Amino acid sequence: MNNKFIPLSVPNIKGNEIKYVTEALEAEWVSTAGAKIEEFEKNMTEYVHSAGAVACQSGTAGLHLALHYFGITENDAVIVPTLTFIAAVNPVKYEKAQPIFMDCDDSLCMDPIKLRRFLDNECTKDNGKVIFKQNGKMIKAIVVVHVFGNMADMEQIMSIATEYNLPIIEDATEALGTYYTAGKYKGKYAGTIGNVGVYSFNGNKIMTTGGGGMIVSNDKELLEKVRYWSTQSKDDVVNFIHNEIGFNYRMTNVQAAIGVAQLERLEEFIAIKERNYLHYKKVIDNMDGMSLLGFRDDVRTNYWFYSLVLDMDKYDKNKVIQNFSANNIQTRPIWGLISEQKPYQDEYEYDITCAKEYYNTIVNIPCSTNLSEADADIVLEVIKSM
């Protein structure tokens, strides 16, 4: 039995974080203004090659601001994946709109074939508007999530979105650093292909600010509007004049200081993730009844999460997780499908099959950027003993 606890995914804080946070504290800029926020936004803009970036409180806040920008109301519907973290869908409900759940393909991202079939068969076009036949609601946007560092099939999805004149909100919270290496979008980063992209810096992400997020876009008008809303829609900061309803969604300067340091090491983190992934894969892919989920051939992935795919005839997912836990190794199943969660059980779902299969067969294994090869070998020994 392994006596050392090996976590699933934890931060790596070994760069300039303390130095930059100290600078923020010494300047006494600790709240939602300060030089580190501007520096973080500038550096992120340069890294992903977008027109700009807006630092916000969380990835969820970023997604909410993006949906708000497109004028989503209770009369509208938004197409979303069922296989994702619930934060990708909850903001649709914040705006009182209807989520329409879409299946995944083998990348775990939204299935473009089913997306087209749904729009072609279940919707109509009316004066440039896309209307859901079932209840007459207008489809206002599509939220595409790049799952576990992989990339959705953006060539097909963008083609569909253009045909139906639907904005694309990219939830790239798990895919910072992933980009296409071939095809129409060669060189384009996850989050920079649709109308707007959102990243997360939660503690388990490839880089962290503890909490926090970032909105990126090539639409400068969109960026300025979400920046305005994120700081309570201040029109006159001296006299406290607010002409619109805003949100307290701005990132703090202290968080941004951590982010500046983390971004400096992002490419190093990705290299470590790749090395550990290939180390696992070399062993696991030679085993009977399980494999390590791959990534698209036409992307440079950030290798954020490692997914063990089990043959249900040979392994029981829950017993595998229990076995890891008994050996002090933290793992987790994939998310419960959102369309099956209590708040969403009555919402419309379209031909969900692939997502259900992956829900029953995936276990995520330790993937931290400070995971040593020795610790990875311990994980592999437990796998081989099952």
pLDDT in tens for each of the 386 residues of the chain? 778 999 999 999 999 999 999 999 999 999 999 999 999 999 999 999 999 999 999 999 999 999 999 999 999 999 999 999 999 999 999 999 999 999 999 999 999 999 999 999 999 999 989 999 999 999 999 999 999 999 999 999 999 999 999 999 999 999 999 999 999 999 999 999 999 999 999 999 999 999 999 999 999 999 999 999 999 999 998 999 999 999 999 999 999 999 999 999 999 999 999 999 999 999 999 999 999 999 999 999 999 999 999 999 999 999 999 999 999 999 999 999 999 999 999 999 999 999 999 999 999 999 999 999 999 999 999 999 98
Question: What is the pTM for the complete model shown?
Answer: 0.97
Domain that holds residue 347: 266-385
* DSSP H stretches of helix in 32-131: 35-48, 59-69, 90-94, 112-122
Query: From CA 263, how far away is CA 172, in angstroms rounded?
Result: 16
CATH number of the domain encompassing residue 229: 3.40.640.10
307: β partners: 364
Residue 268 burial (CB count, 10 A)? 12
Question: Does 76 share its domain with 193?
Answer: yes
Query: From CA 93, how far away is CA 91, in angstroms rounded?
Result: 5
- Buried b / exposed e over 231-245, threshold 16 CB at 10 Å, is bbeeeeeeeeeeeee
Contacts within 8 Å (CB) and 24+ apart, 154-158 = 154/180, 154/185, 154/188, 154/193, 154/194, 155/183, 155/184, 155/185, 156/112, 156/113, 156/116, 157/110, 157/112, 157/115, 158/185, 158/193, 158/194
Domain-embedded: residue 311: yes
Domain-embedded: residue 223: yes
Domain-embedded: residue 288: yes
Question: Does 163 share its domain with 57?
Answer: yes
Number of separate domains in the chain: 2
Question: Does 194 share its domain with 291?
Answer: no
Domain-embedded: residue 9: no
Query: From CA 292, how far away is CA 289, in angstroms rounded?
Result: 11
Question: Does 117 share its domain with 154?
Answer: yes
Cα dist from 379 to 41, 154, 306, 329, whole Å: 37, 34, 12, 7
Question: Does 351 share its domain with 227?
Answer: no
Residue 160 near residue 112, CB atoms below 8 Å: yes
Domain-embedded: residue 5: no
Domain-embedded: residue 40: yes
Among all chains, which residue has been given the structure tokens 């090539």?
Answer: 218
- Per-residue pLDDT, 56: 98
Question: Does 332 share its domain with 212?
Answer: no
Phi-psi region of 212 (alpha: psi -120 to 50; beta: other; left: phi over 0): left
4: β partners: none
Question: Does 199 share its domain with 186?
Answer: yes
- Per-residue pLDDT, 378: 97
- Per-residue pLDDT, 2: 78
Domain-embedded: residue 231: yes
Query: From CA 356, how far away is CA 108, in angstroms rounded?
Result: 11
Last residue of a domain, one of 243, 264, 285: 264
Last residue of a domain, one of 215, 231, 264: 264
Those residues whose C-beta lies under 8 Å from the C-beta of residue 216, and which sit 6 or more positions away, are 44, 45, 48, 50, 52, 53, 54, 191, 192, 196, 197, 198, 199
Residue 109 near residue 142, CB atoms below 8 Å: no
Tokens representing 265 are: 């090491």
Last residue of a domain, one of 264, 284, 306: 264
Question: Does 254 share its domain with 271?
Answer: no
Question: Does 193 share its domain with 216?
Answer: yes
CATH number of the domain encompassing residue 270: 3.90.1150.10
